[in-house]
Structure 1
Amino acid sequence: MAGGVLAFPLTSFREDGGLDLDAYRRYLTAQVATSPGALFPACGTGEFSALDEDEYRAVVTAAVEIAGGRLPVVAGTGYGWAQALRFARIAEEAGADALLVLPHYLVAAPEDGLVEQLRRIADGTRLPLIAYQRGQVTFTPDGVRRIAGIPTVVGLKDGHSDLDRLQRLTLAAPEGFLFFNGAATAEIQARAYATVGVPAYSSAVHAFAPEIADAFFTALREGDDPAVTALLRDFYVPFVELRDRVPGYAVSLVKAAARMRGLPVGPVRAPLTDPGPEDLAVLEAVLDAGLKLAGAERPRTA
C-alpha cells in the first residue's frame, strides 16, 4: 500500500440526508480510476459514525464491487468491540480485504483494555485488522508488541504525530508490521513521518483532488523538494489553516471541495455542518492554487 496514495472516499448523501448510493458508485468509479494504493470506505472521511448498518453494508459492498480486486478495500469499523464486530462481519460478508479499527466510543481506557478490544474483534472476524491510534487511543512500545502478537492485527495507523513515540513504536514492532501516517491532512507531515520509517500515508485530499494528491506523492517519492515545498506552501498549509477554523471541517471542507469539482457527494450529515459562504470563497481560492500547481484546473459553470 506504500506504492500509491491511500484513498479515503467520501460517502454520498442526498440533500434530505439519505444515502445516495447511485451517486456514491459514480464517485467511487472516479476514485478507483486514479489507481490509489488502497481504498478505505466508511472510515473517518466517509462519515462512518453517521452510517447505520444497512447503509454501511451498501457502502462497503459498492466499494468492493467497483474496486474489482484491483486494489485492497479496507473498511472502517469502530465503537465498542461488540458493535465493531457487527460492522466487521458485514464488511467480511461484503468482501472487504481488511478493517481499519477506529478509536472506540467516548471513554478513555488503559492499554490493557485497548489490547483486549483488538483481541475481541480479532477473535470474531477472519479479516486482518489495522489499529488506529488517535484521540483517546495511544499505544506504548510494549502495547505494540502485544497487539502485533494477535495473529490478524497487521498494522497501526498513527494520528498523534508524536514522532519520538512513533519511532519507538516502529523499533518495537516485529518485521513486516505495517505503519501508516494517519495525521489529518497527512501530507503536511509526510516528510517527517518518512524519516522514522513510515512512508505510507492516507490522503483526504485525494477524495476531491486526486491530481493534487498524486502530484505531491510523486514529488515526495522522487525527491523533488521544490515541488513538495510549493504544494505545501501554496495549497496544503492554507487548506489546513482553513480546516482548523471549525470543528469537523476535516470532513466538511473535503466534501465542499468535492462539490466544487462537480463530484456527486452531497452534504455532510449532522453533527457536522457544511462551510458558510466566506469559508467557501477561501476554499475555492486554495483549491484553484493547488490544481494549478498540479497542472489541472476546476471546471467552470456558466
Structure 2
Amino acid sequence: MAGGVLSFPLTAFHDDGTLDPDGQRAYLARQLAAAPGALFPACGTGEFFSLDEDEYRQVVALTVEAAAGRVPVVAGTGYGWPQAVRFAHIAEEAGADALLVLPHYLVDAPQDGLVAQLEHIAARTRLPLIAYQRGQVAYSPGSLRRIAALGNVVGLKDGHGDLDRLQRLTLAAPKDFLFFNGASTAEIQARAYAALGVPAYSSAVHAFAPEIADACFTALRDGDHATADTLLRGFYAPFAELRDRAPGYAVSLVKAAARLRGRPVGPVRAPLTDPSPFDLTDLKALLAAGLDLVGAAL
C-alpha cells in the first residue's frame, strides 16, 4: 500500500440524503482510474458515522465490486466493540480485505481499555485490523506491543501528528507492522513522517483531485523537493487554512470539491453541513489553482 496514495472514497448521497448506489459506482470508477494504493470505504471521509448497517453493507460491497481485486479494500468499523464487530461481520460478508478500526465513541479510556477494545474485535473477525489513533485514542509503546501480538492487528494509522510518540511506537513494533500517516491534510507532514520510516499516507485530496494528490506523492517519493514545495505552498497549505474555518470541513469541503468537478456524490449528512457560499467561492478558486499547477482541468 506504500506504492500509491491511499484513497478514502466519499459516500454518494441523493439530494434528499438517501444513499445513491449509481453515483457511488460512477465515483469509484473515477477513483480507481487514478490507481490508488488501496481503497478505504466507509471511513471518516466516507461518513461512516452517519451510515446505518444496510447502507454500510452496500457501500463496502460496491467498493469490493469496483476494485475487483486490483487494490485492497479496507473498510471502516467503530463505536463500542459489540457494534464494531457487527460492522466487521458485514464487511467480511461483503468481501473486504481488512478493517480500519476507528476511534471508539465519546469517552476517554485508559491504555488497558484501548487494548481490550481491539482484543474483543480481533477475537471475533478473521479480517486483519489496522488501529486508528486519533482524538481520544493514543497508544503507548507498551500497548502497541500488546495489540501487535494479537495476530490479526497488522498496523496503525496515526492521526495525531505527535512525532515523538510515533517514533517510540515504530521502535516498539515488530518489523512487519504497518504504519500510516493519517494526519489531517497528510501531505503537509508527509516528509516528517517519512523521516521516521512511515512513508505511506492517506489523502483526502485524492477524493476529489487525484491529479494533485498523485503529483505530490510522486514528488515526495522521488525527492523532488521543488515540485513538492510548489504544491504544498500553492495548494495544500491554503487548503488546510480553508479546512480550519469551520468544524466538519475536513469532510464537507472534500465533498464540495468533488461536486465542483462533476462527481455525483451529493451533499453531506447532518450533523455536517455543506460549505458556505463564501467558502465555496474560495474553494473553487483554490481547486482551479491547484489543478493549474499539475496541468489538469477543472
What residue is the counterpart of 1:206 in the other structure? Answer: 206
What amino acid sits opposite 1:75 in the alignment?
A
What residue is the counterpart of 2:76 in the other structure? Answer: 76
Residues of 1 paired with 2:53 and 2:179: CA distance?
28
Shift of 1:297: 1.5
What residue is the counterpart of 1:95 in the other structure? Answer: 95
Superposed, which structure 2 residues align to 1:1-302 within 5 Å? 1-298=1-298
Residues of 2 paired with 1:212 and 1:268: CA distance?
23
Residues of 1 paired with 2:295 and 2:218: CA distance?
13
Structure 1 segments unaligned to the other structure (5+ residues): none
Residues of 2 paired with 1:223 and 1:181: CA distance?
18
Shift of 1:119: 0.6
Shift of 1:157: 0.2
What amino acid sits opposite 2:4 in the alignment?
G
What amino acid sits opposite 1:44 in the alignment?
G
Residues of 2 paired with 1:277 and 1:179: CA distance?
38
What amino acid sits opposite 2:34 in the alignment?
T
Give the CA RMSD over aligned residues.
Answer: 0.5
SS in 2 for 1:143: helix
Residues of 2 paired with 1:218 and 1:197: CA distance?
17
TM-score, length-scaled by structure 2: 0.99
SS in 2 for 1:278: helix
Shift of 1:289: 1.1
What amino acid sits opposite 2:111 in the alignment?
E
Residues of 2 paired with 1:78 and 1:155: CA distance?
16
Matched residue count: 298
Shift of 1:285: 1.1
Residues of 2 paired with 1:67 and 1:240: CA distance?
30
Residues of 1 paired with 2:10 and 2:106: CA distance?
24
Residues of 2 paired with 1:288 and 1:219: CA distance?
20
Shift of 1:33: 1.2
SS in 2 for 1:76: strand
Residues of 2 paired with 1:176 and 1:292: CA distance?
39
User: Deviation digits for residues 116-161 of structure 1, max 9, x if unmatched?
Assistant: 1001001110000000000000001111101100100000000000
